[in-house]
A and B are shown apart, each in its own frame.
Chain A
């Protein structure tokens, strides 16, 4: 399998080669990759791909896992409808 074909972020369909390109363009952490590629911006908010991207960053930048800054956790923990969130009965 060639790098172009390996999808790392399933929600946004971002491939390994795109992530490596983002790192070449200066991304040094999860947010840097995200802002350049959209990896982690989808429905699951990086739950699946963040660990993989961390490994790729670590390998490309030759760093230890703990040196790679993780993404920013934001609510909601799981998708919630506008109706549930904005309903006046809570």
Chain B
């Protein structure tokens, strides 16, 4: 089936413009696809150089631009930005389990928790610094909205990414924790706050909102999960649409592409929840093919981009030179080894011995 013109981007995305991604798990596809297509996905909190892919994955690097883990609700996103930008007092709540310490606002970030509270706090500061740097640098922030349901601390009002206790750490206490089902106003207010905050930090940063097409697997609302999903996604979709009226906010229809009736649920896996690779590919194809690259992002048609292109090429050449230098450095050690070792070894093992 061919459906074209599903999206007309409000602003062009050049390959030299840094893009931040955050949000629900569907946001991970955006980051990956941007990288694969040669766009400048900005990893503000990169994994330590040389750490293997497995270690990076285990420690939640490379999934989003920052090491926040999944941010399902707009309230949680707002919270992270308030901590990063407005230096709001950081919560002192820490979940302890078997001598290890877990950050309630990203409990899965370290597979075995932190060794101490000080370490947990230092790691969080690192992430907040990365968020600040990311928003100060990037040109586009892609935020994928996931859920309206969340759990919060009754006393502090702070929102958790998941119900305390569900990951095997933390403990749900009805006196301390409450269920929240954010309504349209709540979500819209959060998104407005998010926009206000980043616009203050970086006036020309733009936000692209999407809604994750991944349905809820469970709900605490008391409704049937099917009903709760529609309720939740409708609120997110409506709020995203309202936000897209701002000149620096756009909406991209990931949700419609996957859930749309014309597509007959063909992009869902057999569990009817996960989006298939074909579905993700179709979403991303829609995203990239709509980019008016040749009209506005082609340096040949844009003097500013032409200059940036020259700068980017120079930067690439520098990077390549540095990489070659690093490779030569290693190679030099090995070559050096070779230059002398054959002689040394054959001498030791030669007939005279």
Co-assembled chains A and B: no
